[in-house]
Amino acid sequence: MSTLEDLRREIDGIDDAILDLLARRVDIGHRVAVAKGPDGGPKLRPGREAQVLRRLAARDDGRLGAATLVRFWREILSANLAQQTEFSAGVWAPEPDASVFDLARDHCGSSFPPERKASAKTLISEAGSGAVDIAVLPGLDGEGAWRWWPWLVDTTEEQNPPRIIARLPFSTPGSPEGFVVSTIPSEASGDDISVFALDESAGLHEGRVLDTDPSSGRRLVAVGGYCPERADHVGWHWLGAYASPLAA
């Protein structure tokens, strides 16, 4: 029978092995950045990240759980990104609710602590100009002063407009929730939700209405799948897409 000291030595050995593997992973991330070169593509790959987390969650036998697994790997992904590039994040967390800031901090990890911004409009503008790489905002259910999605519609004609690229948290579909907005392209993960704003006169061919902007009459619509081509419909404005959460 193993003694307490035997078990502690075994744990120490496992901890050492985990640290060695994490260091190896970070080193490979640095080599990936070198292989990409200066114009090697986007800093973030939101679809690829979702695929990694889904694969790991499928291997979990329940002893970790989705929330723990995702939080742990968000730190790993953040450390890996820190080896490849400089990065910045902003968050608009309306007072007195701090839940959106907590979601942003967990998503960005210790390597890139998010900076609070004064308003959603300011933050979206900074994401569009590149002043921040990602903007984290509250859920898409409108509610007056929290209704930030119409400002995305105002940017649809820009050459590289800010768009929704992720939903937080990835581990569960419940509330509170937040969304990541960036000029970094969204990408298909294999199980996605696309988001559109529909003009008041536009026909609703498919999807689920999430909110209506009383000032413009536009509707916010979620459509299953990664389908930016739906913006070819008259009056449909592509606002981005995000990977469906693990438990959805």
Task: Tell me the DSSP string of 96-122.
Answer: T--HHHHHHHHHH-TTS--EE-S-HHH
Of 59, 120, 68, 131, the closest CA to residue 91 belongs to 120
- How many angstroms separate the most distant Cα atoms in the chain? 75
SS3 content of the chain, % helix, strand, coil (to 5): 40, 20, 40
Pairing label, strands 89-91, 115-116? parallel
Residue 136 β-bridge partners: 91, 180
pLDDT in tens, the chain (248 residues): 789 999 999 999 999 999 999 989 888 877 877 777 766 666 788 999 999 999 999 999 888 888 899 999 999 988 888 877 788 999 998 776 678 899 999 999 888 889 999 899 999 999 999 999 999 999 876 555 578 999 998 776 667 899 999 999 998 766 678 999 999 988 999 999 999 999 999 988 889 999 999 999 999 999 999 999 988 888 999 999 999 998 75
d(CA 179, CA 165): 8
d(CA 232, CA 225): 16
d(CA 69, CA 67): 6
d(CA 67, CA 169): 9
Domain 44-243: CATH class, spelled out: alpha beta
Total count of residues recorded for the chain: 248
